[in-house]
Structure 1
Amino acid sequence: MQPRSIAKRRAVDAADVLPDDLLHEIFARVAPGLLDLIRCAGTCARWFRLITGPAFLRRVGISPENTRHRFSFLFGAFFGPEAIPVHLNAPRKRISDSPPRFFRLRAQQTGGERLTFTSFIHNNNGTFNYAKPLVSHRGLLLMRRRMPHDLEKIHLAVCHPLLGARSTRLLPPPPQDLGTMGVWYDMTGYALVTAADHRAAGDLDHRRQPLFQVLFTTICFQKKRVYAFSYSSATNSWSAPIKCSQTFGLTRSGPLAGVVSGSIVHWLYTNNINFYTLNIFADATHVSLTEIPIELKSGLPPFPCIVGEGKLSFVYTSTDNVLELWTKREQDNDHSAEGKEGWVQSELMPLEVKGIEILSFAERSCVILMMQKECPTIFSLDLVTKKIQPVIRENRNLAMFYSYNGDEMWRCKNHVLYEIDWPSYLFHLSAGS
């Protein structure tokens, strides 16, 4: 073992003395396998500096135009395979290895270029077979595991896909028997909150915050009330459910994945006239409801997102077919202002062709994905620079977002955008997850 260790050390020393320009040439040849390049960046401080430099990122085509986004970029999306029905009385057999798959979104594609479909989730001997990706946040990925012989409970897992098996945390099911509560066992909303979110919110005791928290909501049809549950990675346990009585008479609208602003998660609700945000703290200790004080004349629901320094915002299609961005000025609970006070409106882009639908939002990159149905193409729109560009053009790749039935087309809701977030990656790498 000693000669091998010496040889390894000599190889490291040889790489260390190479000049920056030569290392850049080597890294540029690694770039087509972007995962390998990202893992190289986590090797040492020098390699991280060379790989994350704006000039090099632009060279390999993964740097946004806006340098403010230097530390995050949209990489691709996870999507879950269709589950194979399993009879409860059937003998247990090991099913095929089928974790959530991944495809990379490329900002600029040539005519002959195709997206790559693969998976880099460590499956832990079948742990994530037919698992459903739910939401990603700051490099972490929340999935719902498929447990055919335990359907009455919710089985969740959180991992950092870039770090492999050591980052996997299997969450215990919520201790409450949802059946006896009269609660639908499925989730009506979910979110991930990290220690970095608490830091961004100015929490002075952020070191005491858990590495991550999982928040989900479910509904009790008998009492017409929403319940929220919170999991803490620090205690590996769930909180007691909190009743969200504010949602009585309202219907959930918009994405199932809530948007995170600091340590608060926001979901969209409506009474078919006005829209509201249900706001729940990450530890499920406080809940509030806020009416969105902007005129939504087109009748279309606004799409919630976060821009700037954690400011709650909405992307909205007006009656004039103009895509607008509404941003809240202050992140406080003072709603005494009337009308549109406290909100800023800006025009993102005029819609040259009607029929654009917003699909997803990448919060760290401030990018939304949208589809124009009349000429099926998926575009990305930077909410800060207002730059728009196609990311998927081929019909076979569009099927990852849409399913077809004759002339009908409906959205496939099982894809989850995944961003490379350098600070999160290095933090979990150094913390050993």
Structure 2
Amino acid sequence: MHPRKRQRRRSSVAAPLEPEPVLPPDVLLEIVARSDAATLVRCAASCKPLRREILRPAFIRRVCHEPEGVVPPRLLGFLRLGHDHRDKVHGPGPPVGFSLAHPATPAAESFSQKHLAPLLSRNAAVAKLLNRGGDRPLTSRNGLVLLYGGFYSAPSGRRPPSFPHMCVYDPMAGNLATFCGAPGIYPSCTPCTFVLLTAADGIGCSFLVVVVDFTGLMDASGSIKIQTMSADDAAAGGTWAPSTSVRHPRAQQGSSSTLHGRSRLAVVVLGGFVHWLMHELKRNSPPPYGMHILTYHVGTATVGTIELPTATDGLPISESKGRDLHLASSPDGRLSLVVMDRQPLTISIWLLSGSDGWARHAVIDAEANLRSLLDQPLSRRGLHDTDNNRVCFASSSWGKSDAVLLKRSPVGPDVDEERRLIVLDVETEEMWTNTTKWSAFPYEVDLESRLSAMKTF
């Protein structure tokens, strides 16, 4: 070979590249901790060592609970799913959307606007299904939504060709599980509740739907009927488990019970126990009727009751006039009773702590703040009784957020298209309004639990 050609080939060999500098792990974690929630999740998916450091409990507590944390522990907002049944004009429905209600922090605003809302609007397949107009939300828990309505297309020969269906929808992941509704249960005409349990409740699958029929409480049997549908059963063909009946503990005392007001939606699930606020209808007894909390444990299929706390006047809190009651749960997982007194308008938070019983956690003077929020003066009869400024609890439970949802419900034939909802932060006692459509539905995401549940490799 010619010497020049050999020399040219030798010179054409590229010199080895110098390795690029690598940031130390502690520096990477500092960058992640100062970014945002979406970036944190992307970094956790980039490599195994960084993922292990991000998913450490100490780091999750830091980014969720420190004052400069970039991940809000929980988000409470409102989902708009497809058509509103009050809409007069039909056609292509609006995209699935989300509006933040609580907390009012920069981290929550950033995550809801830059990540959650665009994620929902991009999910065209689910939006098309929900925009059919027949689906309506029944309940929501731990980031999942249970919907009912429309028609279920069952395999030939197994069920009628048209059957009411139910859906469990995960807006964050875009997953939708569809199955037939519980046989003989129709929400519009049956006194029932639909309870949604998730993997965080220790059920061994992604969701469990529990339908509870309270028809038997009004007759001699004094029992409730329960049917369940698990995620595994829904994937295997959508067959409901056989119904079971459980007798109310107080049925033997010659009394019947019924759900209190909006309790068919305000269902609280804690540690596998389902809680309802009940009116006790004693025979041959004048009102006011007593109230109690009915419990049902999903794992053992047993029922029980919990007495309500005693008010400062010495009477059971349910027997005092001029009060609204609502069940909820505290951020630390305790049963909470929210009490609204009308004159003057105050909101009390009671917490149940095991053997210690009920204790009043906070008393909030809400009337002054509400006066400044509402655009009409209050009457002498009190805010709750004012015709055009009737304020009461929102119809659905608000999960574990440290907030109380109130609603202003205009009455009369001229009802606005939008309803003004009022958010009360229990910790700061601040109030603000949230204007949303009629079809919007309370939706809560526990971001701290979702981060903690991510797998390490």
Q: TM-score under structure 1 normalisation? A: 0.64
**Where do 5+ consecutive residues of structure 2 fail to align?**
1-18, 46-50, 154-159, 282-287, 311-315, 369-382, 385-390, 411-419
**Partner in structure 2 of residue 162 of structure 1:** 172
1:102 Cα offset (Å): 1.5
Are 1:250 and 2:258 an aligned pair?
A: yes
Q: Which secondary structure state, in structure 1, belongs to the residue aligned with residue 324 of structure 2? A: coil
Other structure's SS at 1:398 match: strand
Counterpart check, 1:143 vs 2:147: yes
Counterpart of 2:209 in structure 1 is 214
Tell me the distance in 2 between the aligned counterparts of 1:423 and 1:109. 19
> Is 1:230–2:228 an aligned residue pair?
yes
Whichever residue aligns with residue 421 of structure 1, its letter is L
Closer/same/farther in 2, CA of residues 107 and 346 from structure 1, 3 Å limit: closer
For residues 426 and 186 of structure 1, do their structure 2 counterparts lie closer, same or farther at Cα, with a shift above 3 Å needed? farther
| Aligned-pair CA distance for 1:343 | 1.9
Give the corresponding residue for 2:400. Answer: 364
SS of the residue corresponding to residue 45 of structure 1 reads helix
Alpha-carbon deviations, 1:401-433, whole Å to 9, x = none?
xxxxxxxxxxx5851231233323553x549xx
Identify the residue that residue 380 of structure 2 maps to in structure 1: none
Equivalent pair of 2:217/2:257 in contact (CA under 8 Å): no
Q: CA 1:146 to 1:300, structure 2 compared with 1: closer, same or farther past 3 Å?
A: farther
Pick the structure with greater CA Rg. 2
**CA deviation vs aligned residue, 1:12-35 (integer Å, no higher than 9, x gap):** x98974776677668866x4xx6x
Amino acid of the structure 1 residue aligned with 2:168:
V
Decide whether the 8 Å contact of 2:405 with 2:421 is kept in 1.
Answer: no
Match of 2:354 in 1: 330
**What residue is the counterpart of 2:444 in the other structure?**
418
1:316 to partner: Cα distance? 0.7
Q: Identify if the C-alpha distance between structure 1 residues 148 and 268 changes in structure 2 by more than 3 Å, giving closer, same or farther.
A: same
3-state SS, counterpart of residue 449 of structure 2:
helix
- 1:261 maps to what in 2? 270
Match in the other structure for 1:54: 62
Decide whether the 8 Å contact of 1:322 with 1:349 is kept in 2: yes
Deviation at 1:109, TM superposition (A): 8.2
Q: Does 1:79 align with 2:80?
A: yes
> Deviation of residue 148 (structure 1)?
8.7
Contact persistence 2:393–2:407 (CA under 8 A): yes
Instruction: Give the one of 39, 42, 60 matched to 1:40.
Output: 42
Shift of 1:266: 0.8
Give the structure 1 partner of residue 98 of structure 2.
Answer: 102
Of 50-59 and 265-274, deviating more is 50-59
User: Normalising by the residue count of structure 2, what TM-score does the alignment of the two structures yield?
Assistant: 0.61
Aligned residues: 354
SS in 2 for 1:193: strand
- For 1:124 and 1:369, locate their aligned partners in 2 and report how far apart those are by CA, in whole Å: 31
Q: Which amino acid aligns with 2:52?
A: A
Q: Which runs of 5+ in 1 are unaligned?
A: 1-12, 64-71, 87-93, 199-205, 332-340, 401-411
* Identity of matched residues, %: 16
Which whole-Å deviations, capped at 9, do the CAs of 1:312-342 have from their partners, x for residues lacking one? 22011246533222222327xxxxxxxxx83
After TM superposition, the structure 1 stretch with the greater mean CA deviation from structure 2, 257-266 or 245-254, is 245-254
Cα distance, 1:137–1:377 mapped onto 2, change above 3 Å: closer
Secondary structure, aligned partner of 1:82: coil
CA contact (8 A) 2:71 2:447 kept: no
Q: Counterparts of 1:154 and 1:291 in 2: how far apart (Å)?
A: 37
1:306 maps to 2:344? no
Please tell me whether the aligned partners of residues 134 and 257 of structure 1 are also in contact (alpha carbons under 8 angstroms).
Answer: no
In 1, Cα distance between equivalents of 2:145 and 2:67: 27
| Contact 1:134–1:416 (CA under 8 A) maintained in structure 2 | no
From 422, 435, 440, give the equivalent of 1:398: 435
Query: Does the 8 Å CA contact 2:82/2:130 hold for their aligned counterparts?
Result: no
Q: Secondary structure at the match of 1:254?
A: coil
Asked whether the 8 Å contact 2:227–2:242 carries over to 1, the reply is yes
- Structure-2 separation of matches of 1:186 and 1:99: 31
Aligned-partner SS, 1:301: strand
Task: Give the alignment's Cα RMSD to 1 decimal.
Answer: 4.5
Contact 1:315 1:325 in 2 (8 A): yes
The match for 1:292 is 308
Q: 1:157 to 1:425 in 2, by over 3 A?
A: farther
